[in-house]
């Protein structure tokens, strides 16, 4: 999780939103990314999506079975779906998606547990990991001049 937090801080310093993700397999970091929505004018460039793309490219496969994704915030439905389709085994996140919604992000507040149930996904989900450290990212971001939600 600390890798994802470091990536989110890096993104905040670069004018991005306060989200980071890291993909690990067998205890080894495969990829990490911060949100890049504003950087590339790409509404799909969430930290999780970018980390998944990097992991697939590095491993030369779309099958990320056995991988764990650490995300500073509960993945949105798009990112959860990408985790499911790439066969990521486990999602571990810090703060709930509702925290982002409260700050003005245009989130579809559908929890990962609900997505898992609706889609009958086998992904394991664990939330609240280093929650306070992840909430601190939102506070750091709020202090940034020119911050933007999407």
- Report the catalytic residues: 48
Assign 3-state DSSP to the chain and report helix, strand, coil percentages, each to 5.
40, 20, 40
Helix H or strand E encompassing 32? strand 28-34
Closest CA to 1 of 26, 42, 29: 29
Rounded CA-CA distance 9/53 in Å is 20
């Amino acid at each position: 999780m600390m890798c994802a937090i470091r990536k989110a801080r890096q993104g905040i310093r670069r004018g991005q939103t306060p989200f980071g993700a890291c993909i690990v397999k067998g205890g080894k970091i495969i990829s990490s990314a911060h949100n890049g929505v504003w950087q590339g004018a790409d509404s799909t460039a969430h930290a999780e999506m970018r980390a998944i793309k990097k992991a697939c490219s590095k491993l030369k496969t779309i099958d990320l079975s056995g991988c764990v994704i650490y995300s500073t915030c509960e993945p949105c439905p798009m990112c959860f779906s990408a985790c499911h389709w790439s066969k990521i085994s486990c999602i571990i996140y810090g703060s709930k998606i509702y925290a982002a919604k409260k700050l003005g992000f245009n989130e579809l507040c559908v929890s990962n547990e609900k997505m898992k149930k609706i889609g009958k996904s086998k992904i394991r989900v664990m939330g609240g990991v280093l929650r306070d450290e992840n909430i601190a990212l939102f506070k750091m971001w709020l202090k940034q001049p020119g911050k933007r939600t999407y």
